[in-house]
Chain A
Amino acid sequence: MTETVTETTTAKTADLAPQRTPRAIFQVLHIFRKDARHHWPEILVSLLLLSLYTWHSARQAGPAPFFVPGYPTTSAFAIVLAEILPLVLVVAWFFLIFRLVQEESLIGDRQFWVTRPYQWPSLLAAKVLFVVIFIHIPLFFAQCLLLKIAGFPIAPHLAGLLGMNIALPFFFCWRSQ
């Protein structure tokens, strides 16, 4: 908590910038921990939805023991799940990211954090880390699991999976316009 590093400052800003400031990486983790603590219900919901989606997809398409003969793939319930779940999952991710951004909102001039020693790169890195940890990595593992269940080898498809994960933020940006 008290990890510090000495930095040189210009004479002009000597008064404003202290000699010892927390490491940037520490600030990233500190903000990340705070966000995770605050948004655990949303995180939990998105992880549950992803689990449900993975489970449902595996039951529909996977071989035994995942594929359950007689699992209703054509029933109204199954169709609704198949159609609605991905949408709900994306909405949950949107909501999670929206709440995350709102945590240190850029709009307005009354937020407490604008007059605290936040460093922009650390703040941005903390938010990116949050999205990677709670959206990208779970999704990546879910995709790997589905590939495995469907009988495909994972290694040849790793590049494709990673590419899809990297493209995901652009999809969010495109959808939000």
Chain B
Amino acid sequence: MTTAIRTVAVSKRFRRLAALDSLSIEIPEGAIYALVGPNGAGKTTTIKILMNILRASSGSAEILGAPSTRLAGRAFSQIGYVSENQELPEWMTVEYFLAYLRPFYPQWDRDLEAALLKQLDLPLDRKLRHLSRGMKMKTALASSLAYHPKLIVLDEPFGGLDPLVRDQLIEALLERATEATVFISSHDLAEIENFASHVGYLENGKLRFSEEMTSLANRFREVELTVDSPAALPANIPASWLHFKSSAAAVRFVDTAFDEARTRAEVSRVFGSVRDVEFRPMTLRSIFLATAKTTSES
């Protein structure tokens, strides 16, 4: 499988502040990659470096097989970029905005444009300055999907949008971008969980993990042990067990390297006999909270 985006040890410093610290990710073609993390984690900086809006202090990035530093002009006819912070030409109407962009893209699809306009329910005659935030995002998305880009980059597209608009955006994205690679940064973990194929977690400029959603969901489990009597926390616990909580008859923790047989064996080794063991799958949100908590504790 070929790679749509590759970064190798990309770092970015703003004077003394390290916004990105040796970021290395590889995103296969056709993936829907979600880059998540708290505010100030470096998500937007990463996207700006990928889009050649910012230069990395060190390291290298490749987009669709070419260095991101060479991304300019015609190369953008293969890339759709939508950002919550993007400044659109507010004096244009939706119709004129699309008509203006159309000739820049040889592969612009008028039928797809019409379908997107209908699906997203965009008012053609209204000026962009008179559109709500959600409408602006929908217009930006329509203008970035209508030419069948190979890569779609979305920077916090769902921030502050109502659930209906969010659903419309996601639906349009998933329906129309079947052949594209999607790179999306978001806070909206619940939404991301529903459609992302890969996920990366960025915190303080460092990538904590980057993997397929299924593998991430498989390796994280909340484990609850029912014990006969309260016991002190054993000393020889595996490093992959986090956030111990114990009460009178139960011990809870998060296993970050779950494998049922191996985890059962480890539980027996550490706790001896336990009355019951329960493994609960975790939501993306719980996984990130557990990871973030571990980082802040350490």
Interface residues, chain A, CB within 8 Å of chain B? 1-2, 4, 12-18, 20-22, 26-27, 30, 34, 38, 103, 108-112, 114-120
Instruction: Report A-chain residues with C-beta under 8 Å of the C-beta of B15.
Output: none
Partner of B81, one of A12, A34, A115: A115
CB distance from A73 to the nearest CB of B (A): 43
Query: What are 5 A-B residue pairs whose CB atoms fall within 8 Å in the complex?
Result: A18-B78, A21-B106, A30-B103, A115-B53, A117-B76
CA distance A38 to B150 in the complex (A): 32
CB distance from A18 to the nearest CB of B (A): 5
CA distance A110 to B216 in the complex (A): 34
Partner of A112, one of B86, B106, B107: B86
Residue of A nearest to B67 (CB): A12
CB distance from A20 to the nearest CB of B (A): 5
Given contacts A1-B103, A21-B106, A116-B104, contact A109 B53 (CB under 8 A): yes
Given contacts A12-B66, A13-B66, A115-B51, contact A18 B101 (CB under 8 A): no
Residue of B nearest to A15 (CB): B64
Interface residues, chain B, CB within 8 Å of chain A? 48, 51, 53-54, 63-66, 70-79, 81, 83, 85-89, 91, 100-107, 140, 150
CA distance A152 to B65 in the complex (A): 64
Given contacts A1-B103, A34-B100, contact A115 B79 (CB under 8 A): yes
Given contacts A109-B48, A110-B86, A114-B53, contact A16 B65 (CB under 8 A): yes
- Asked whether A15 lies within 8 Å of B66 as measured between CB atoms, the reply is yes
Given contacts A112-B86, A117-B105, contact A21 B53 (CB under 8 A): no
CB-based A-B contact count at 8 angstroms: 89
Partner of B74, one of A2, A38, A117: A117
Instruction: Report B-chain residues with C-beta under 8 Å of the C-beta of A34.
Output: 100
Chain B binding surface SS class: mixed
- Give the interface centre of A17, A22, A112, A118 by most chain B CB atoms within 10 Å: A112
Given contacts A4-B106, A15-B150, A16-B65, contact A117 B75 (CB under 8 A): yes
Partner of A18, one of B77, B81, B83, B88: B77
A16-B66, A103-B89, A117-B74 known, 19 other contacts, Cβ within 8 Å:
A1-B102, A2-B106, A12-B65, A15-B78, A16-B74, A18-B74, A18-B77, A18-B106, A21-B77, A21-B106, A30-B104, A38-B89, A111-B87, A115-B79, A115-B81, A116-B76, A117-B73, A117-B104, A118-B104
Instruction: Report B-chain residues with C-beta under 8 Å of the C-beta of A115.
Output: 51, 53, 76, 79, 81
Instruction: Report B-chain residues with C-beta under 8 Å of the C-beta of A27.
Output: 103-104
CA distance A18 to B76 in the complex (A): 10
Partner of A119, one of B63, B74, B101: B74
Instruction: Report A-chain residues with C-beta under 8 Å of the C-beta of B53.
Output: 109, 114-115
CB distance from A106 to the nearest CB of B (A): 12
CB distance from A151 to the nearest CB of B (A): 46
Residue of B nearest to A113 (CB): B89
CA distance A117 to B73 in the complex (A): 4
CB distance from B227 to the nearest CB of A (A): 56
CB distance from A84 to the nearest CB of B (A): 30
CB distance from A60 to the nearest CB of B (A): 39
Residue of B nearest to A31 (CB): B100
Instruction: Report B-chain residues with C-beta under 8 Å of the C-beta of A111.
Output: 86-87
